[in-house]
Amino acid sequence: MMNSTSWGALRRPISKCKDLKFTNRKWQKRPRGSYGPLLFVLPSLAFYVFFVFIPVIGTVRYSLFSWDGASPNMLFVGLQNYVEMIEDAIFWKALVNNIIWTIGTLVFAFLMGLVLAVVLMQSGIKIIAPFRVAFFIPVVLSLVVIGTIWSWMYNPEFGTINLLLNKCGLAFLARPWLGNDRTVLFALVFAGSWHYSGFCMMVFIAGLQSIDPVYYEVGVIDGATKVRMFFFVTIPLLKNTMTLLIVNVLIWSLKIFDLVFIMTGGGPYHSSEVIANYMFYVTFRIGEIGYGAALATTLALLIGTLSFVYIRMAEKAD
Amino acid sequence: MGKAAKLRKIRRLVLRWPVYLFLVAYTLFALFPVVLMWINALKDPLEYKIEFNPLAFPKKITLENLEKAWLVGHMGTYMRNSIIVAVPRVIGILILSSLAGYAFGKLRFPGMNTIFYLMLFGMMIPIQAMLIPLYYNLQRIGMINNFWAMIVPNFGIMMPFAVFFMRSFFRDLPAELMDSARIDGSNDFKAFVYIMLPLTTPALTTMMVLQFLWSWNDFLMPLMLIYEDKLRTLPLGIMFYLVGGYYLDQGLVSAAVTISSLPIICLYIVFQRSFVSGITAGAIKG
């Protein structure tokens, strides 16, 4: 990196260098800028306001009404929808499932990503690229495709997982993975983590690459073993990466919709329900727009807070 | 010395094979479900009737399933629709976001910070927060159950992240470039087209790949806005395979999955770097 003190004067835009006298330049006389550049921003701002900002306000507004989506009169009910939500057992079930989803993703995908990244980058092996490419393939697939593949794998009659278990002499473990309210969430989280762990690995690889090798050289001189270096050098230096990734896992787990919708639709009997799917179900299946909007607002508040924290931390880490 | 070096080499090899074993095992785990679908897509439908074993390799490779999925299962139409939606959508987002990103990153104008924070707000909220009013608003302006419905709203929805991403690239370009362009007499727009834009090609490629991926995999908005089969994109089409009567036709489902997953995997192999940097940067949205 360039030393900013010695090169600072040269890297500063001329317009900001008071020691250089170009006082007559037209462009220099507009410290606040002109209205011209606004033209560059206006088109995207217009689309944004129309398709994001106004609808978001609309959602909050809808959440204060009772409406079936078709009738011409909307009934203002104040915070009634939110009261209903707090008393709704399925909402709490969905929220708990989102939390379980987070924990499951942390256990499967986050840890797997860390292990894969460390093994690839620090075990001294020569062949890295093909593994890296292969591990990332599940990340680029759409969740609909993943849901289809895994529904197929979990199928009780012809599913590959039960078939493999039978072949390995573990037939007692074979079961209808998605049809049982005890296994369904686990099965979904596992499929989700299959998709997500490649992403975690890439984030960890980026984190590992930013660690100064000097730390490891010092470790070698001090006679530390690889295992000790992992726990006392790698892990502490990955702290920022890890916090960012954990917040990311939280956001991802709260947002999860496609997989649940495709594979179980939240069933059986809402046992794999998550907030995003419940919101869709309430709004577009049952037609309680107001209540759906209240769920959407709650979800947005949760994700918004986490995203705010994430963006703040990401900026600080830069 | 020679013997010691040899020993060390052998020792390293012995120590490393468990590492490779682990990596190969995980590769199998990561690719197995996908490859299994590809294999089953190539299987003769008759093989299923004789022996119900998705793990077996096909005895005879046939394109029958793929053909059936393409024509009878409408995968051809879905694929065409996915492309019709993705191309204008990606181009539109690229143009709009690079213009705005340039203005935020390199120019100054009144209200700049206010507008920027307004857009940053959009990056923090999930799609669910705008779903319901968007549905009714779009219905009102007739932007429902047509291709526009899958293209135009995304100019707004994808914009916060896209602008944020492009802005950081424009901001990091040296300011002297702008100054010299101005000294040479070009206005802001000319400086953008001839000087800045060529320099942001890597960012534009990443953005293009990422937006294409999001468009290709987009599910929730089309699910809400499209109800005619001839307009469905690949994810929607596959979903209706599952819900519809094709569920038990293994060959057809695997063929459908193959058709929709192969293009994106090939694209990923070609644009690896852009995919990885894009997906890691875009993790918060998406």
User: pLDDT tens digits, residue range A121-169?
Assistant: 887 788 888 999 999 999 999 999 999 889 888 888 777 888 888 888 7
Domain positions in chain B are 2-63, 67-284
Facing B137 at nearest CB: one of A36, A55, A127 = A55
Long-range contacts of B280-283 (CB under 8 A, 24+ apart): B280/A199, B280/A202, B280/A203, B280/A206, B281/B165, B281/B206, B281/B210, B282/B161, B282/B165, B282/B210, B282/B214, B283/A199, B283/A203, B283/A248, B283/A252
**Domain B67-284 grouped into CATH 1.10.3720.10:** yes
Nearest CA in chain A to B261: A141
Residue A51 has a pLDDT of 93
Residues of B in contact with A258 (CB under 8 A): 219-220, 235
Under a CB-based contact definition with an 8 Å cutoff, are residues A39 and A53 in contact? no
Residues of B in contact with A62 (CB under 8 A): 132-133
Residue B229 has a pLDDT of 85
Label residue B202 left, alpha or beta by phi (over 0 means left) and psi (-120 to 50 means alpha).
Answer: alpha
Instruction: Please compute the mean of the pLDDT values over residues B118-130 and round it to a whole number.
Output: 89
Return d(Cα B22, Cα B119) in angstroms, integer: 45
Nearest CA in chain A to B153: A51
Residue A19 has a pLDDT of 47
Residue A17 has a pLDDT of 47
N-term to C-term CA, chain B: 57
CATH of domain A90-317: 1.10.3720.10
Cβ separation A311–B123 shorter than 8 A: yes
A32 pLDDT band, cuts 50/70/90, is low
Return d(Cα A67, Cα A292) in angstroms, integer: 10
Instruction: Please compute the mean of the pLDDT values over residues B52-75 and round it to a whole number.
Output: 78
Cβ separation A135–B30 shorter than 8 A: yes
CA distance A121 to chain B (A): 12
Residues 110-139 of B with CB under 8 A from A: 110-112, 115, 118-126, 128-134, 136-137
Residue scoring higher pLDDT (A71 or A235): A235
Residues pairing with A66 in the sheet: A75
Q: What is the ipTM of this complex?
A: 0.88
Nearest CA in chain B to A62: B133
CA distance B149 to chain A (A): 11
Residue A173 has a pLDDT of 74
Facing A158 at nearest CB: one of B20, B250, B276 = B250
Facing B235 at nearest CB: one of A16, A48, A144 = A144
Torsion of CA A121, A122, A128, A129, to 10 degrees: 10
| Arithmetic mean of pLDDT over chain A | 84
Cβ separation A289–B163 shorter than 8 A: no
Residue B286 has a pLDDT of 41
Q: Is residue B174 less than 8 Å (CB to CB) from chain A?
A: yes
Residue B246 has a pLDDT of 63
Domain positions in chain A are 90-317
Instruction: Please compute the mean of the pLDDT values over residues B45-64 and round it to a whole number.
Output: 71
List pLDDT tens digits, range A166-185: 888 777 777 788 878 788 99
Reply yes or no on whether the pLDDT at B247 is more than 80: no
In this structure, of B3-7, B108-112, B118-122, B163-167, the range with the lowest mean pLDDT score is: B3-7
Facing B96 at nearest CB: one of A15, A44, A62 = A44
B243 pLDDT band, cuts 50/70/90, is low
List pLDDT tens digits, range A60-100: 999 998 888 778 888 888 888 899 898 989 999 999 999 99
Return d(Cα B7, Cα B111) in angstroms, integer: 70
Instruction: Please compute the mean of the pLDDT values over residues B46-71 and round it to a whole number.
Output: 74
Residue B27 has a pLDDT of 92
B74 pLDDT band, cuts 50/70/90, is confident
Reply yes or no on whether the pLDDT at B87 is more than 60: yes
| Other beta carbons less than 10 A from residue B144's beta carbon | 17
Measured in residues, chain A has a length of: 318
A4 pLDDT band, cuts 50/70/90, is very low
List pLDDT tens digits, range A259-281: 999 888 887 888 889 999 999 99
Facing B30 at nearest CB: one of A124, A134, A206 = A134
Residues of A in contact with B260 (CB under 8 A): 142, 145
What is chain B written as a DSSP string? -HHHHHHHHHHHHHHHHHHHHHHHHHHHHHHHHHHHHHHHHTS-HHHHHH---TTSPPSS---HHHHHHHHTT-HHHHHHHHHHHHHHHHHHHHHHHHHHHHHHHH---TTHHHHHHHHHHHHHS-THHHHHHHHHHHHHTT-SSSHHHHHHHHHHHSHHHHHHHHHHHHHHS-HHHHHHHHHTT--HHHIIIIIIHHHTHHHHHHHHHHHHHHHHH--HHHHHH---GGG--HHHHHHHHHHTGGGG-HHHHHHHHHHHHHHHHHHHHHTHHHHHHHHHHGGG--
* Among the listed residues A148, A81, A102, the one whose alpha carbon sits nearest the alpha carbon of residue A282: A81
CA distance A307 to chain B (A): 5
CA distance A214 to chain B (A): 23
